[in-house]
Amino acid sequence: MASAPQQAGLPLFYNQLEPLSSTQHADFRVRPAATAPFLANHHAVPLTVEEFPLVQRRMPIVFSVGDDPVPLALMGLNEGVNTFLDAEGKLLDDETYIPAYVRRYPYMLARLRPDSDELSLCFDPTSETIGAFDEGEKLFENGEPTELTKGILSFAEQFEQAGQRTSAFMRELKEQGLLMDGEISIQPDGAQPFVYRGFQMIDENKLNELRGDQLRKMQQSGMLPLIYAHLLSLSLMRDLFAKQMRQGKLPQQPVPLTAN
Protein backbone atom coordinates (compact mmCIF):
# COMPACT_ATOMS: atom_id res chain seq x y z
CA MET A 1 0.00 0.00 0.00
CA ALA A 2 2.70 2.48 0.98
CA SER A 3 5.77 2.80 -1.18
CA ALA A 4 8.98 4.65 -0.43
CA PRO A 5 10.35 7.18 -2.87
CA GLN A 6 12.37 5.68 -5.71
CA GLN A 7 15.56 4.23 -4.27
CA ALA A 8 17.41 4.09 -7.58
CA GLY A 9 17.62 6.98 -10.01
CA LEU A 10 15.66 10.13 -9.33
CA PRO A 11 13.42 10.84 -6.33
CA LEU A 12 9.64 10.62 -6.46
CA PHE A 13 8.04 13.15 -8.91
CA TYR A 14 11.34 14.08 -10.59
CA ASN A 15 11.89 13.17 -14.25
CA GLN A 16 15.19 15.02 -14.76
CA LEU A 17 17.53 17.17 -12.70
CA GLU A 18 19.49 20.18 -13.95
CA PRO A 19 21.63 22.62 -11.91
CA LEU A 20 20.14 26.12 -11.83
CA SER A 21 22.62 28.50 -13.48
CA SER A 22 22.62 32.30 -13.70
CA THR A 23 24.18 32.04 -17.17
CA GLN A 24 22.27 29.15 -18.73
CA HIS A 25 18.94 30.15 -17.16
CA ALA A 26 19.32 33.92 -17.09
CA ASP A 27 15.95 34.43 -18.78
CA PHE A 28 14.05 31.76 -16.84
CA ARG A 29 10.93 32.68 -14.94
CA VAL A 30 8.59 30.91 -12.54
CA ARG A 31 4.86 31.00 -13.09
CA PRO A 32 2.27 29.95 -10.51
CA ALA A 33 0.43 26.67 -10.93
CA ALA A 34 -3.18 26.06 -9.93
CA THR A 35 -2.82 22.28 -10.26
CA ALA A 36 -0.29 19.57 -9.39
CA PRO A 37 -0.79 16.89 -12.05
CA PHE A 38 2.37 15.09 -10.91
CA LEU A 39 0.66 14.41 -7.56
CA ALA A 40 -2.80 13.39 -8.79
CA ASN A 41 -1.95 9.69 -9.15
CA HIS A 42 0.15 9.29 -6.00
CA HIS A 43 -1.38 8.07 -2.76
CA ALA A 44 1.64 8.37 -0.43
CA VAL A 45 3.93 11.38 0.03
CA PRO A 46 7.14 11.54 2.12
CA LEU A 47 7.01 13.61 5.31
CA THR A 48 9.47 15.26 7.63
CA VAL A 49 9.07 14.91 11.39
CA GLU A 50 8.27 18.62 11.78
CA GLU A 51 5.08 18.02 9.81
CA PHE A 52 3.66 15.25 12.02
CA PRO A 53 1.63 17.60 14.28
CA LEU A 54 0.00 19.26 11.24
CA VAL A 55 -0.60 16.10 9.24
CA GLN A 56 -1.90 13.85 12.04
CA ARG A 57 -5.20 15.74 12.10
CA ARG A 58 -5.74 15.36 8.36
CA MET A 59 -4.05 12.23 6.97
CA PRO A 60 -2.80 8.89 8.29
CA ILE A 61 0.96 8.80 8.90
CA VAL A 62 2.64 5.45 8.25
CA PHE A 63 6.15 4.24 7.40
CA SER A 64 7.30 2.63 4.19
CA VAL A 65 8.63 -0.93 4.07
CA GLY A 66 12.23 -1.79 3.26
CA ASP A 67 15.63 -1.33 4.85
CA ASP A 68 15.41 2.48 4.89
CA PRO A 69 11.81 3.32 5.81
CA VAL A 70 10.52 6.88 5.58
CA PRO A 71 7.42 8.55 7.05
CA LEU A 72 4.55 8.87 4.59
CA ALA A 73 1.33 10.88 4.55
CA LEU A 74 -1.45 8.81 2.99
CA MET A 75 -3.65 10.73 0.57
CA GLY A 76 -5.33 7.49 -0.51
CA LEU A 77 -5.27 3.83 0.50
CA ASN A 78 -4.69 2.34 -2.95
CA GLU A 79 -1.95 2.81 -5.55
CA GLY A 80 -2.83 5.61 -7.94
CA VAL A 81 -5.62 7.02 -5.73
CA ASN A 82 -5.44 10.53 -4.29
CA THR A 83 -8.64 11.58 -2.55
CA PHE A 84 -7.52 15.19 -2.05
CA LEU A 85 -7.12 16.10 -5.74
CA ASP A 86 -9.17 15.70 -8.88
CA ALA A 87 -7.86 13.98 -12.03
CA GLU A 88 -6.12 17.17 -13.20
CA GLY A 89 -4.36 17.69 -9.89
CA LYS A 90 -6.58 20.48 -8.51
CA LEU A 91 -7.26 20.51 -4.78
CA LEU A 92 -10.80 19.50 -3.86
CA ASP A 93 -10.45 21.52 -0.65
CA ASP A 94 -8.26 24.63 -0.66
CA GLU A 95 -7.48 24.14 3.04
CA THR A 96 -5.78 20.77 2.45
CA TYR A 97 -2.30 20.59 3.95
CA ILE A 98 0.32 20.02 1.25
CA PRO A 99 3.48 18.25 2.50
CA ALA A 100 6.76 20.11 2.12
CA TYR A 101 8.07 17.39 -0.21
CA VAL A 102 5.38 18.39 -2.72
CA ARG A 103 5.89 22.13 -2.18
CA ARG A 104 9.61 21.74 -2.83
CA TYR A 105 9.06 20.36 -6.34
CA PRO A 106 10.45 21.04 -8.96
CA TYR A 107 13.52 22.13 -6.97
CA MET A 108 15.92 20.23 -4.75
CA LEU A 109 19.47 20.31 -3.45
CA ALA A 110 21.67 17.65 -5.01
CA ARG A 111 25.31 16.60 -5.10
CA LEU A 112 26.65 17.14 -8.60
CA ARG A 113 29.87 15.21 -7.91
CA PRO A 114 30.08 11.98 -5.90
CA ASP A 115 33.46 13.05 -4.46
CA SER A 116 32.04 16.27 -3.00
CA ASP A 117 29.62 17.02 -0.16
CA GLU A 118 28.63 20.33 -1.74
CA LEU A 119 24.94 20.63 -2.60
CA SER A 120 23.68 22.65 -5.56
CA LEU A 121 20.21 23.97 -6.25
CA CYS A 122 18.71 21.93 -9.09
CA PHE A 123 15.33 21.76 -10.79
CA ASP A 124 13.29 19.42 -12.96
CA PRO A 125 13.25 20.98 -16.45
CA THR A 126 10.14 18.95 -17.37
CA SER A 127 8.08 20.99 -14.91
CA GLU A 128 5.65 23.41 -16.52
CA THR A 129 6.23 26.00 -13.79
CA ILE A 130 9.80 26.99 -14.72
CA GLY A 131 11.20 28.02 -18.10
CA ALA A 132 11.94 30.83 -20.53
CA PHE A 133 8.44 32.28 -20.28
CA ASP A 134 7.22 35.75 -21.15
CA GLU A 135 5.23 35.86 -17.92
CA GLY A 136 6.08 34.98 -14.34
CA GLU A 137 8.69 36.05 -11.79
CA LYS A 138 12.34 36.25 -12.78
CA LEU A 139 14.89 33.90 -11.22
CA PHE A 140 17.84 36.16 -12.03
CA GLU A 141 18.32 39.89 -12.48
CA ASN A 142 21.60 41.25 -13.86
CA GLY A 143 23.23 37.89 -13.26
CA GLU A 144 22.22 37.78 -9.59
CA PRO A 145 19.57 35.62 -7.89
CA THR A 146 16.31 37.42 -7.24
CA GLU A 147 14.51 37.32 -3.89
CA LEU A 148 12.39 34.53 -5.35
CA THR A 149 15.45 32.38 -6.05
CA LYS A 150 16.89 33.11 -2.61
CA GLY A 151 13.58 31.99 -1.09
CA ILE A 152 13.59 28.78 -3.14
CA LEU A 153 17.15 28.04 -2.00
CA SER A 154 16.29 28.77 1.64
CA PHE A 155 13.28 26.44 1.54
CA ALA A 156 15.38 23.68 -0.08
CA GLU A 157 18.03 24.08 2.65
CA GLN A 158 15.42 23.93 5.41
CA PHE A 159 13.95 20.82 3.81
CA GLU A 160 17.38 19.19 3.68
CA GLN A 161 17.92 19.89 7.37
CA ALA A 162 14.46 18.54 8.23
CA GLY A 163 15.29 15.44 6.20
CA GLN A 164 18.39 14.84 8.32
CA ARG A 165 16.35 15.12 11.53
CA THR A 166 13.78 12.74 10.05
CA SER A 167 16.51 10.22 9.22
CA ALA A 168 17.76 10.39 12.81
CA PHE A 169 14.21 9.77 14.07
CA MET A 170 13.84 6.73 11.80
CA ARG A 171 17.23 5.31 12.89
CA GLU A 172 16.15 5.54 16.53
CA LEU A 173 12.86 3.75 15.80
CA LYS A 174 14.77 0.92 14.12
CA GLU A 175 17.38 0.69 16.88
CA GLN A 176 14.63 0.44 19.49
CA GLY A 177 12.81 -2.21 17.42
CA LEU A 178 9.59 -0.19 17.48
CA LEU A 179 8.51 -0.75 13.87
CA MET A 180 6.20 -3.58 12.88
CA ASP A 181 4.37 -4.64 9.73
CA GLY A 182 1.03 -2.88 9.56
CA GLU A 183 -2.34 -4.29 8.59
CA ILE A 184 -5.81 -2.80 8.64
CA SER A 185 -9.07 -4.48 7.72
CA ILE A 186 -12.08 -2.34 6.83
CA GLN A 187 -15.44 -3.98 6.19
CA PRO A 188 -18.19 -1.97 4.48
CA ASP A 189 -21.74 -2.94 5.39
CA GLY A 190 -22.60 -6.35 3.98
CA ALA A 191 -19.43 -6.64 1.94
CA GLN A 192 -16.12 -8.44 2.07
CA PRO A 193 -13.45 -6.70 4.14
CA PHE A 194 -10.76 -4.65 2.41
CA VAL A 195 -7.39 -5.59 3.89
CA TYR A 196 -4.52 -3.12 3.55
CA ARG A 197 -0.89 -4.12 4.10
CA GLY A 198 2.49 -3.04 2.75
CA PHE A 199 3.31 -0.41 5.37
CA GLN A 200 4.91 -0.21 8.80
CA MET A 201 3.65 1.28 12.04
CA ILE A 202 4.74 1.65 15.66
CA ASP A 203 4.38 -1.49 17.76
CA GLU A 204 2.48 -0.17 20.81
CA ASN A 205 3.29 -3.27 22.87
CA LYS A 206 7.02 -2.73 22.42
CA LEU A 207 6.58 0.98 23.11
CA ASN A 208 4.87 0.17 26.42
CA GLU A 209 7.69 -2.24 27.32
CA LEU A 210 10.43 0.40 27.06
CA ARG A 211 12.23 1.24 30.26
CA GLY A 212 11.51 4.49 32.01
CA ASP A 213 14.90 5.99 31.15
CA GLN A 214 14.33 5.16 27.46
CA LEU A 215 10.93 6.86 27.50
CA ARG A 216 12.37 9.92 29.26
CA LYS A 217 15.07 10.17 26.61
CA MET A 218 12.44 10.02 23.87
CA GLN A 219 10.34 12.63 25.63
CA GLN A 220 13.29 14.98 26.04
CA SER A 221 14.39 14.56 22.42
CA GLY A 222 10.89 15.20 21.11
CA MET A 223 10.46 11.68 19.73
CA LEU A 224 7.58 10.62 21.95
CA PRO A 225 5.10 13.29 20.79
CA LEU A 226 5.93 12.35 17.19
CA ILE A 227 5.24 8.68 17.90
CA TYR A 228 1.87 9.52 19.43
CA ALA A 229 1.03 11.81 16.51
CA HIS A 230 1.59 8.81 14.21
CA LEU A 231 -0.52 6.51 16.38
CA LEU A 232 -3.38 8.99 16.65
CA SER A 233 -3.37 9.55 12.90
CA LEU A 234 -4.07 5.88 12.20
CA SER A 235 -7.71 6.42 13.17
CA LEU A 236 -8.01 8.41 9.91
CA MET A 237 -7.56 5.22 7.87
CA ARG A 238 -11.29 4.56 8.00
CA ASP A 239 -12.07 8.19 7.18
CA LEU A 240 -9.83 7.91 4.13
CA PHE A 241 -11.56 4.67 3.13
CA ALA A 242 -14.96 6.36 3.42
CA LYS A 243 -13.67 9.23 1.30
CA GLN A 244 -12.55 6.79 -1.40
CA MET A 245 -15.95 5.12 -1.25
CA ARG A 246 -17.78 8.44 -1.73
CA GLN A 247 -15.54 9.24 -4.69
CA GLY A 248 -16.02 5.80 -6.26
CA LYS A 249 -12.29 5.03 -6.00
CA LEU A 250 -12.39 1.65 -4.31
CA PRO A 251 -10.84 -1.33 -6.13
CA GLN A 252 -13.01 -4.23 -7.23
CA GLN A 253 -13.21 -6.98 -4.67
CA PRO A 254 -12.77 -10.57 -5.87
CA VAL A 255 -15.96 -12.64 -6.06
CA PRO A 256 -16.03 -15.06 -3.09
CA LEU A 257 -15.93 -18.76 -3.88
CA THR A 258 -19.10 -20.71 -3.04
CA ALA A 259 -19.53 -24.41 -2.52
CA ASN A 260 -21.65 -26.32 -5.06
The residues with which 44 forms a beta bridge, in sequence order, are: 74
Pure H helices in the chain: 52-55, 100-104, 147-175, 204-209, 212-221, 223-233, 236-246
Quick one: pLDDT band at residue 28, thresholds 50, 70, 90? Answer: very high
Instruction: Check: pTM over 0.85? Answer yes or no.
Output: yes
Question: Do residues 120 and 107 lie in contact, with contact meaning Cβ atoms separated by under 8 Å?
Answer: no
Quick one: pLDDT band at residue 252, thresholds 50, 70, 90? Answer: low
Tell me what pLDDT residue 175 has.
92
Query: Does pLDDT of 9 surpass 90?
Result: no
Q: Side chain identity at 207, as an amino acid letter?
A: L
Query: What is the arithmetic mean of pLDDT over 29-44?
Result: 94
Q: What is the mean pLDDT of the chain?
A: 91
Quick one: pLDDT band at residue 259, thresholds 50, 70, 90? Answer: very low
pLDDT in tens, 177-197: 999 999 999 988 767 889 999
Query: What is the arithmetic mean of pLDDT over 52-80?
Result: 96
Sign of CA dihedral 108, 154, 172, 64: negative
Tell me what pLDDT residue 7 has.
38
Residue extents of the structural domains in the chain: 18-246
User: Among 4-8, 26-30, 105-109, where is mean pLDDT lowest?
Assistant: 4-8
More confident residue, 211 or 260: 211
The residues with which 180 forms a beta bridge, in sequence order, are: 201
Tell me what pLDDT residue 5 has.
42
User: Among 56-65, 142-151, 246-255, where is mean pLDDT lowest?
Assistant: 246-255
Tell me what pLDDT residue 86 has.
95
Quick one: pLDDT band at residue 170, thresholds 50, 70, 90? Answer: very high
More confident residue, 149 or 259: 149
pLDDT in tens, 195-232: 999 999 999 999 999 888 888 888 888 999 999 999 99
pLDDT in tens, 131-162: 999 999 999 999 999 999 999 999 999 999 99
Query: Does pLDDT of 1 surpass 70?
Result: no
Tell me what pLDDT residue 6 has.
42
**Which residues, including other chains, have CB under 8 Å from residue 209's CB and lie 6 or more apart?**
none
